[in-house]
């Protein structure tokens, strides 16, 4: 693995942050491109981008703290309190970040009477391309590692608890997030596309489905209920909600046809 790209005292450049920055750059480029196609007011995002970004960071960190409550709370002291704010320790949650971003987007869109559904489709389509780079970064950093495997593409990660080849689940995640992004982008560019939020729903459902499967191959520590990891429980909830609304959208499309 390659967690550090460059180290020249006192500067250390981490591969995870570089890939995260590259992912954010790609997201912004795509948002600008898709916003022009959708003809939404880019001023809304320009005026609220910092609020949406920092809300995502806060929720991402909060979910990480909750997930690792044993470390932060059970032996609580002033030092642990300060560590809660040390986001540079790379302790962030993808689910928390997504929830924070869309919660802030919903509240701000409602406040300013902006097109929440339109912006949701734009942001979630762009985000999957950014997640591709983030997952590559976690692979280089040795985070979110997998379980042992005998498959020929198994890798050895020194920071994991295993000294034998393990599943490169970060690469699996990079592949399926990129594929989801490509599918959503192709739907977005269809001429007969309707502004009904179906892109967001499909994206959430597909990500939740693949994330649920990915967690069976994850070897890092996680809070569990019965045999399910915490991310799988969130994935089931997200699949259920998004699947329900996809069904409702399908019924709305089908009903006029059946009446004729």
| The model's pTM | 0.84
| Residues 188 and 243 both lie in one domain | yes
Which ranges of the chain have pLDDT less than 70?
A: 69, 71, 74-78, 80-81, 88-90, 191-196, 253, 255-260
pLDDT at 90: 64
**pLDDT reported for residue 76:** 65
Enclosing domain of residue 99: 41-114
Among 131, 103, 94, 112, which Cα is nearest to 45's?
A: 112
pLDDT of residue 24: 86
At residue 256, the pLDDT reads 57
Question: 105 and 217 share a domain?
Answer: no
Classify residue 49 as left (phi > 0), alpha (psi -120 to 50) or beta. alpha
- 258 occurs within a structural domain: no
- The per-residue pLDDT for 170 is 95
- pLDDT, position 192: 65
Of 114, 138, 161, at which residue does a domain stop? 114
One domain for residues 143 and 98: no
Task: Tell me, yes or no, whether 257 lies in a domain.
Answer: no
- The pLDDT, as a whole number, for residue 232 is 93
Q: What is the pLDDT of residue 180?
A: 97
Q: State the DSSP string of 221-238.
A: ---EETTEEHHHHHHHHH
């Amino acid at each position: 693995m390659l967690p550090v790209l460059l180290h020249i005292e006192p500067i250390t450049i981490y591969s995870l942050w570089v890939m995260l920055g590259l992912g954010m750059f790609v997201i912004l480029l795509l948002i600008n491109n898709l916003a022009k196609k959708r003809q939404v007011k880019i001023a809304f995002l320009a005026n609220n981008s910092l609020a949406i970004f920092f809300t995502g960071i806060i929720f991402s960190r909060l979910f990480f703290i909750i997930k690792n409550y044993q470390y932060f709370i059970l032996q609580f002291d002033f030092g642990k309190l300060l560590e809660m704010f040390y986001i540079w320790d790379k302790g962030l949650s993808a689910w928390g970040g997504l929830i924070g971003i869309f919660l802030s987007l919903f509240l701000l869109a409602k406040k300013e009477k902006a097109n929440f559904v339109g912006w949701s489709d734009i942001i979630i389509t762009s985000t999957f391309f950014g997640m591709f780079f983030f997952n590559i970064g976690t692979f280089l950093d040795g985070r979110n590692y997998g379980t042992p495997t005998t498959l020929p593409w198994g890798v050895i990660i020194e920071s994991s608890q295993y000294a034998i080849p393990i599943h490169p689940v970060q690469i699996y995640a990079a592949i399926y997030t990129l594929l989801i992004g490509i599918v959503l982008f192709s739907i977005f560019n269809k001429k007969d596309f309707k502004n009904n939020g179906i892109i967001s729903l499909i994206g959430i459902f597909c990500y939740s489905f693949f994330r649920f499967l990915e967690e069976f191959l994850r070897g890092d520590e996680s809070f569990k209920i019965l045999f399910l990891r915490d991310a799988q429980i969130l994935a089931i909830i997200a699949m259920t909600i998004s699947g329900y609304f996809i069904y409702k959208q399908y019924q709305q499309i089908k009903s006029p046809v059946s009446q004729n």
